[in-house]
Structure 1
Amino acid sequence: MNRRKDRIDELAATSGGGTATLVREAGAVDEKPGVSLIASAWKRLRRNPVFLIGATISLLFVVLALVSPFIAPHDPAVGYLLDKVRPQSNPVPGPEPGFPLGADDVGRDLLSRLIVGSQQTLLVGVVATLFGLAGGLVLGILAGAFGGWVDALVMRVVDVLLSIPSLLLAFSIAALATRATQLTVIIAVAAVQVPIFARLLRGSLLAQRHSDHVLAARALGVTERAVVFRHMLPNALGPVIVQSTLVLATSIIDAAALSFLGLGNPNDRRPEWGQMLGRAQQYIYDSPHLAVYPALCIIFVALGFTLMGESLREALDPKSRR
């Protein structure tokens, strides 16, 4: 027994503090400064390779869209290689010096159209998401803040919209327009996103209605309007903002699908990836690269926003934190 005690004392001494350093006062608690939810989420996100990959892809896409008119090697609307287009033997000119990806069927530089097309794709995706978010906020606030028959009416409308496949609903709305334009695509895609945001915000507001800070505000005589907009809504927007990153990826895909089906902007002098994909289908067998490049761009960008959105959701949701 003495030998064992001596051995323990020797190990404690060699650790640098002796046996006294191993003894803590009963009930002592280490005091650490509090960490906000955003700081805690960022601490996890910056170590998450999935988030870093998604954020890098999304950032590169946004930067490319913003500077695309300045870095495109050629004007995407000018048929520089039109004289080399031969409908029978060479309908699509191949790569050559100054045109690394070749040209389309009217001699326009494919690389320049891909670069400039990112701007239109980003514009449609972001504006459609913002419109859908705005509409979802209105319906979600009405349903989640007031409840009763207002909640029942709004949610029945939302259920009907959610029961229809998103692309079919967007196609039906876009087809109602007398003339296909970029605005009709934005409205159609935004209408599909409204019920998603409305249901999510409504659930977040219902969870806030019986929280302690809301009950305390009502007990102090705070007006219902102030309770909703100053106490409930700010604490319910977190999941909605995270969802918007995921919806942005869906909006880009839906907008590309509508343009592919011919319901987008008919003016191909302003290229857009979905529009380029639809135009390339007639050359899919002889020149598949006309469809492969814009399709890869759409997939790559949608993947980036999806990875970033899923990582944000996991970092901010206590139930799914890793």
Structure 2
Amino acid sequence: MSDTPSGLEKPALSPLSAVGAGRKDRIDRLAALGAPDPDDSAAGSERGVSLIAEAWRRLRVSPVFWVGAVIIVAFVLLAIVAPWIAPHDPGEQLLIGQTSRARNQIAPSQPGFPLGGDTLGRDLFSRLILGSRQTLLVGVFATLIGLTGGLILGILAGAFGGVVDTVVMRIVDVMLSIPSLLLAISISVLFANPNLTTVIIAVSVVQIPVFARLLRGQMLAQRESDHVLAARSLGVRRPAIVFRHMLPNSLSPVIVQATLVVAVSIIDAAALSFLGLGSQDVSTPEWGQMLGEAQDRIDSHPGLAFWPAGCIIVVSLGFTLLGETLREAIDPKNRR
């Protein structure tokens, strides 16, 4: 009989189990040796960080990022509180008695009307404030609709490939071959009664191929990555691979592009309104519409065009600065 009590006997390990246990012990030893000492500040500073943490580390010291962020936050807050801070009704002709088309006169700046009136005697300052809300709605909703359509086409092309990829990308190529503003104008003239909704539709359709091509390229790169190949070898189904592995790792550039597209959407929407293809309701101001109304008096009263044009430029610049800094921050090539 063995001297060891039967309750303490260790079961004999098979050769494969012994090899597995040996590998596990070796991995545990390597992990213990490679773990940084909590008291070693140098080792702690060299620990890896996530992409988001690394991007934020660069963004918070970038003055360009903060300029864009301040512009966007101020614009969004202004659009939200616009109905409560506008001093007058934007559609009421309070200064009609001081406006004469025959003498080419516009109501000047005066108490209660810091920017004077427009061509119809309405308060220009109130119309600028309320116009920010319409501009924000167009920029955000056009970008969201374009992003949604681009995601659908990009996922189809990047996940399936083959005939589906060919058909989708040929449609995208045709849309990209037409200048964006010309395509938006072509879509707008199809509607009998243009309004804010038709502007959003026209601008969003123009942005769909941009998102589709970008997402498709990112997903094609993910298809050959190690984690996707490992998932396939384990028998994971295609929908799970696409939506749990490929799509989440492909969205960062698309989200950054969406920030840049907001600026393009604002400019395109202003161009459509300037050409008379936007909202026809003069009581609901929009910056592009205000530009169109000021064009016949641009020589004598440039301020009527300067203020809405300046607002469009500043807001578009804010989204552009934010988007460019985000793109540089999440680019793996810029990581040190």
Tell me, yes or no, whether TM beats 0.5: yes
2:76 aligned residue:
62
1:22 aligned residue:
none
**Which residue among 302, 309, 312 is the counterpart of 2:323?**
309
**Which residue among 274, 284, 288 is the counterpart of 1:270?**
284
Report the secondary structure of 1:30's partner residue: helix
1:157 aligned residue:
171
1:289 aligns with 2:307: no
Gap change, CA 1:321 and 1:185, over 3 Å in 2: farther
2:183 aligned residue:
169
Q: Once the 2 structures are TM-superposed, how far is the Cα of residue 73 of structure 1 from its aligned partner?
A: 1.3
Q: Once the 2 structures are TM-superposed, how far is the Cα of residue 321 of structure 1 from its aligned partner?
A: 5.3
2:212 aligned residue:
198
Q: Once the 2 structures are TM-superposed, how far is the Cα of residue 144 of structure 1 from its aligned partner?
A: 0.5
Distance in 1 (alpha carbons) for counterparts of 2:101 and 2:294: 15
Conservation of the 8 A alpha-carbon contact between 1:256 and 1:275: yes
2:156 aligned residue:
142
Conservation of the 8 A alpha-carbon contact between 1:84 and 1:90: no
Q: Once the 2 structures are TM-superposed, how far is the Cα of residue 218 of structure 1 from its aligned partner?
A: 1.3
1:168 partner letter: L
1:211 aligned residue:
225
> What is the RMSD computed on CA atoms of the aligned residues?
1.2
**Which residue among 271, 274, 277 is the counterpart of 1:260?**
274
| TM alignment of 1:36-185, pairs within 5 A | 36-89=50-103, 91-185=105-199
Report the secondary structure of 2:69's partner residue: helix
1:236 aligns with 2:241: no
Conservation of the 8 A alpha-carbon contact between 1:93 and 1:102: yes
Conservation of the 8 A alpha-carbon contact between 1:140 and 1:202: yes
Distance in 1 (alpha carbons) for counterparts of 2:173 and 2:208: 11
Structure 1 or 2, whichever has the larger Rg, is 2
Q: Once the 2 structures are TM-superposed, how far is the Cα of residue 178 of structure 1 from its aligned partner?
A: 1.5
Which runs of 5 or more residues in structure 1 are unaligned? 1-28
Conservation of the 8 A alpha-carbon contact between 2:119 and 2:293: no
Q: Once the 2 structures are TM-superposed, how far is the Cα of residue 34 of structure 1 from its aligned partner?
A: 2.8
| TM alignment of 1:12-27, pairs within 5 A | none
2:5 aligned residue:
none
Distance in 2 (alpha carbons) for counterparts of 1:177 and 1:305: 29
Conservation of the 8 A alpha-carbon contact between 1:189 and 1:255: yes
Conservation of the 8 A alpha-carbon contact between 1:314 and 1:321: no
Which runs of 5 or more residues in structure 2 are unaligned? 1-41
Distance in 1 (alpha carbons) for counterparts of 2:298 and 2:179: 28
Report the secondary structure of 2:43's partner residue: coil
**What TM-score comes out, normalization by structure 1 length?**
0.89
Q: Once the 2 structures are TM-superposed, how far is the Cα of residue 108 of structure 1 from its aligned partner?
A: 0.8
Conservation of the 8 A alpha-carbon contact between 2:55 and 2:329: yes
Distance in 2 (alpha carbons) for counterparts of 1:279 and 1:86: 15
**What TM-score comes out, normalization by structure 2 length?**
0.85
Report the secondary structure of 2:243's partner residue: helix
Q: Once the 2 structures are TM-superposed, how far is the Cα of residue 33 of structure 1 from its aligned partner?
A: 3.6
Distance in 2 (alpha carbons) for counterparts of 1:321 and 1:214: 24
Q: Once the 2 structures are TM-superposed, how far is the Cα of residue 87 of structure 1 from its aligned partner?
A: 2.5
Distance in 1 (alpha carbons) for counterparts of 2:101 and 2:129: 26
Distance in 2 (alpha carbons) for counterparts of 1:141 and 1:35: 29
2:43 aligned residue:
30
Q: Once the 2 structures are TM-superposed, how far is the Cα of residue 268 of structure 1 from its aligned partner?
A: 1.1
Q: Deviations over 1:221-276 (max 9, x none)?
A: 11101100111101100000000000000000000000000000000100000000
Q: How many aligned residue pairs are there? A: 294
1:91 partner letter: Q
Q: Once the 2 structures are TM-superposed, how far is the Cα of residue 289 of structure 1 from its aligned partner?
A: 0.6
